[in-house]
Amino acid sequence: MVTFNEQLCGLVTLVKVEGVERYGQLRNDYKDLTVIQAIATGGVVPKEVQNKLVEEGWTRTGYTLCFDCMKGRSDLIAKPPVGAFLEDVARFVGGEQAQHTFGCRAAQFAVMKTVSEFVKEEGQKEYGPIVLADPLCHYTTALAAEAAGLRLLEPSDSGHPEHKVETEGYRLKIEEIMKETGKLPGLIMATHVDPYHGNLCPAEKVGEIAEEYNVPYMVNAAYTAGVLPVDMRELKADFLTVSAHKSMASLGPLGFLATRGGWTDKAFRSSRIVAEGTGRKWRNKILNIFGCSVGGVPLISAMYAFPYVAGRVEKWEEELEKTRWFIQEMTKIEGVRLLGEQPHRHHLLHFETPIFFEISQRHKRKGFFLADEMIERGFVGLQRGMTKNIKLSLYGLSWDEARKARDAFYEIASKYVKEYKLDYNVP
């Protein structure tokens, strides 16, 4: 039989890297399963979009959208309409300008670099190299700050089990920072919905504080922009960072940075370096996004998915209803408890599940049994090995799929309660 690789080019026998053929045989065991991974459901790409990518030949090269690039920058491309799309993305989130980035992490990095430069501006004595972030911020926020040479400080949250971000904590911390350093932080940031518990942060209130102290303000909307209505004017945000592969039904890596006001020019400033020799300069390239973020097939997928995404945010309440129903259903299993705020206002769910932990102690597959059993029942995305706590999302699932997911958890729980004679009530 002729293998896939031999079909490819008949070159395999020449290859010096041993065993390289196996990469041609990659199989995706999960291709027919329903995705319930907490951070992936908002990124599920509609089947029609996937098909278009290949049918229309956008998957032919990484430079698929660059053939009509006139100015060496993807945001200035008119065919396909990248420039118009970025304007529409900006409008979609209430911003004035947007650039696409290598994921939300790169968008956050661009903001941190902007701030890092801002606090070093000549004659600027008011702001220090400090980011004041909410205590539930994603690790990429911290790493972006580290890469830009900024410290990361946090107010406290309301503690277990709700872990709510408290607005007044920001104020206290700002006062503390001023006392300690004599300066304001260079940036205040809030994670619109956090990756731990799916709490919706009081981002407008934080924005008011940022405005009051006149500190630039970034909202990380990685888990919100694209699934629920977000307007950075309402949030009073100067910067909004977005993840297309988390929440805009797009392939990755892709994100967006949207900006407002005077921060736009700073964030998207041109390169200033001069090559000392040839004297070359690149004034057409945007420094903080590496000149041009290429885009490629992830960006095309985001464009195809945009009508769908722009439409679905208006149906957010229906998603919330399904999510809240599921929380009710899950907590009927004895001992199961939702972490994060109640009533819950996001699709990302984090449960304490002592029953599954107890089962894992007796199961020969240990903690792995749960993800395994869910996969057997058609659902992929539980963190393998985790049973004490589980995170998942039913965003975008039909009601029928949602009921099946609930039934799967009930079934698994019942099965082992019976098998191990455990003392738990399961509906």
**H or E stretch covering 371:** helix 369-376
Restricting to residues 200-239, name those near a second copy by CB under 8 A. Answer: none
Nearer Cβ to a second copy (319/329): 319
d(CA 267, CA 265): 6
Closest by CA position to 202, among listed 227, 168, 176, 228: 168
In the complex with a second copy, the residue whose CB is nearer, 100 or 344, is: 100
CA separation for the pair 135, 154 (Å, rounded): 5
Q: Which of 1, 11, 125, 421 binds a second copy (CB under 8 A)?
A: 11
Q: Does residue 16 belong to the site contacting a second copy (CB under 8 A)?
A: yes
Answer yes or no whether residue 291 interacts with a second copy by CB under 8 A. yes
Write the single-letter amino acid at 296: G
Residue from 98, 105, 397, 409 binding a second copy (CB under 8 A): 105
**Least separation in angstroms between CB 260 and a second copy:** 17
The answer to the question of residue 381 lying near a second copy (CB under 8 A) is yes
Rg of the chain over all Cα atoms, to the nearest angstrom: 24
Site for a second copy (CB under 8 A): which residue of 32, 122, 317, 400? 32
Q: Per-residue b/e over 224-244, b at no fewer than 16 CB within 10 Å?
A: bbbbbebebeebbbbbbbbbb
Tell me which residues in 162-201 interact with a second copy (CB under 8 A): 173
Q: Which of 75, 95, 99, 103 binds a second copy (CB under 8 A)?
A: 103
Determine if 43 is a binding residue for a second copy (CB under 8 A): yes
What whole-number distance in Å separates Cα of residue 2 and Cα of residue 325? 51
Nearest-5° Cα angle at 346, 35 to 425: 75
- Region of 214-222, 250-258, 332-340, 352-360 interacting with a second copy (CB under 8 A): 250-258
Q: How far is the CB of 301 from a second copy (least distance, A)?
A: 8
- What are the φ/ψ torsions at residue 339 (nearest 5 degrees)? -90, 160
Cβ-based nearer residue to a second copy, 20 or 362: 20
Contact 255, 243 (CB under 8 A): yes
Residue 17 to residues 6, 14, 422, Cα–Cα distance (Å): 16, 9, 52
Site for a second copy in 60-99 (CB under 8 A): 60-64, 66-68, 70, 80-81, 85, 88, 91-92
Cβ atoms of residues 99 and 242 within 8 Å: no
* Max Cα-Cα span within the chain: 78
Q: Which is nearer to a second copy, 21 or 401 (CB)?
A: 21
Q: In the stretch 296-335, what mask flags binding to a second copy with x, by CB under 8 A?
A: xxx-xx-xx-xxx-xxx-xx--------------------
Q: How far is the CB of 190 from a second copy (least distance, A)?
A: 14
Query: CA–CA separation, 118 vs 408, rounded Å?
Result: 52
Tell me, residue by residue from 341 to 370, as one string, x for binding to a second copy by CB under 8 A and - for no binding.
------------------------------
CB pairs under 8 A, 24+ apart, for 317-321?
A: 319/227, 319/228, 319/347, 319/395, 319/396, 320/344, 320/345, 320/347
Question: Does residue 384 interact with a second copy by CB under 8 A?
Answer: yes
CB of 141 to a second copy, least distance (A): 9
Residue 323 CB, nearest approach to a second copy (Å): 19
Using alpha carbons, select from 239, 240, 235, 172 the residue that is nearest to residue 205.
235
User: Which residue lies nearer to a second copy by CB, 247 or 426?
Assistant: 247
